[in-house]
């Protein structure tokens, strides 16, 4: 297959893993900074007439965005037959509306720029809040993979007698799927967010499940305020310390330590963002999705 995978800095393990699974080359992409801080980007492998796959998870996106755009545009300029992006975590999904006059709707702007330089996009559980599909903002074909089956399998294999708990009403469909495959009951929190770091929750309908191990699941753990509020609430209800599972281990600043200190029994994440909590491997799903974009030569 005439394809080649390149890692943006920090994505080397996933790029190699995808290349191995797809049986294609993992090429070297040099990204460094000039003394003045500007980026230098160079492909150390031929890209002409090849399907180029760039791997770049997009947590802390601002520093990753420019070299990514430079690399994609360069691959195209150097004759790549297609340029695809594997971004297991997709950034700028949350500001999807103008909450107050004058605000930038960054999800739309970001999607427009990515769509301009890439031919396709693969990601995992993007935070589609008020949108039904990535197609509303991305103009390129995109594949959205779901971590739910892998999370269910992890819960089934690692937790005895689980009770799966979701962060809010909107998560009910997703959480019920995780619970069903794990063979567990589920409930969802009632959540009120007062600010970026101020979250209040209550857990309804839990009286019958006090003998179970609570497993909190969420798509993103960022400040961890949602999880921390839930851990505290479960504690006051007399539950044992919960296991906290997030698809995307964003963990802003000291959020991971804060969540451990709040009384989580264990914190587990999918490997969409490299982090010490990664325990659920999605590389097979990603490789299968990439293969669908590569035509056999
Ligand atoms: C919100 O709708 C999401 O599903 C998560 O609950 C949220 O992003 C978690 O954020 P934090 O960790 O900052 O509370």
d(CA 102, CA 89): 27
Q: Where are the alpha helices (DSSP H) in 44-128?
A: 61-77, 106-117
CA of 76 relative to ligand 1 center, distance in Å: 36
Burial (CB count within 10 angstroms: exposed 0-12, middle 13-18, buried 19+), residue 185: middle
Give 180-204 pLDDT, tens digit per residue: 999 999 988 877 777 777 776 666 6
| 177 pLDDT more than 50 | yes
Tell whether ligand 1 has an atom less than 6 A from the beta carbon of residue 225.
Answer: yes
Q: How far apart are CA 66 and CA 92, in angstroms?
A: 15
- pLDDT tens digits for 37-52? 999 999 999 999 999 9
Establish whether residue 219 lines the binding site of ligand 1, counting it when its CB lies within 6 angstroms of any ligand atom: yes
- The candidate with the shortest Cα–Cα distance to 106, out of 91, 85, 127, is 91
**Mean pLDDT of all residues belonging to the chain:** 94
Q: pTM here?
A: 0.93
Q: How far apart are the CA of 222 and the centre of ligand 1, in A? A: 6
Q: Are strands 190-195 and 198-202 parallel, antiparallel or unpaired?
A: antiparallel
Q: Of 12, 147, 8, 118, which is closest to residue 110 (Cα–Cα)?
A: 118
Q: Return the DSSP state at 94.
A: S
Residue 269: CB within 6 Å of ligand 1? no
Closest ligand 1 atom number to CA of residue 222: 12
How far apart, in Å, are the Cα atoms of 210 and each of 8, 25, 206, 214, 249? 46, 52, 7, 9, 28
**How close is the Cα of 73 to the center of ligand 1, in Å?**
33
Structure tokens at 50: 């090849």
Question: What is the rounded distance in angstroms from the CA atom of residue 118 to the CA atom of residue 141?
Answer: 10
Distance 293 CA to ligand 1 centre (A): 31
CA of 227 to the centre of ligand 1 (A): 8
């Amino acid at each position: 297959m005439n394809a080649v995978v390149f890692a943006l800095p920090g994505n080397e393990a996933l790029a190699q893993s995808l290349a191995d699974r797809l049986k294609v080359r993992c090429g070297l992409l040099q990204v460094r900074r000039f003394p003045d801080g500007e980026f230098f980007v160079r492909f150390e492998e031929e890209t002409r007439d090849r399907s180029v796959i760039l791997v770049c998870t997009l947590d802390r996106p601002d520093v990753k965005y420019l070299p990514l755009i430079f690399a994609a545009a360069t691959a195209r300029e150097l004759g790549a037959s297609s340029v695809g992006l594997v971004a297991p975590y997709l950034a700028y999904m949350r500001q999807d509306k103008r909450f107050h006059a004058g605000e930038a709707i960054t999800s739309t702007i970001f999607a427009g720029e990515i769509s301009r330089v890439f031919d396709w996009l693969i990601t995992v559980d993007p935070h589609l809040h008020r949108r039904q599909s990535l197609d509303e903002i991305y103009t390129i074909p995109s594949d959205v993979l779901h971590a739910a089956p892998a999370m269910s399998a992890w819960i089934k294999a690692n937790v005895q007698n689980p009770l799966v708990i979701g962060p809010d009403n909107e998560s009910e469909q997703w959480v019920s799927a995780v619970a069903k495959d794990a063979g567990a009951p589920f409930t969802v929190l009632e959540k009120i967010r007062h600010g970026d770091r101020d979250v209040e929750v209550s857990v309804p309908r839990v009286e019958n499940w006090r003998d179970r191990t609570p497993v909190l699941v969420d798509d993103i753990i960022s400040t961890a305020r949602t999880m921390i509020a839930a851990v505290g609430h479960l504690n006051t209800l007399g539950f044992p310390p919960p296991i906290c599972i997030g698809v995307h281990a964003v963990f802003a600043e000291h959020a991971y330590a804060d969540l451990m200190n709040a009384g989580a029994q264990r914190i587990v994440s999918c490997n969409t963002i490299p982090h010490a909590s990664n325990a659920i491997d999605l590389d097979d799903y990603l490789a299968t999705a990439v293969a669908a974009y590569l035509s056999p030569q």
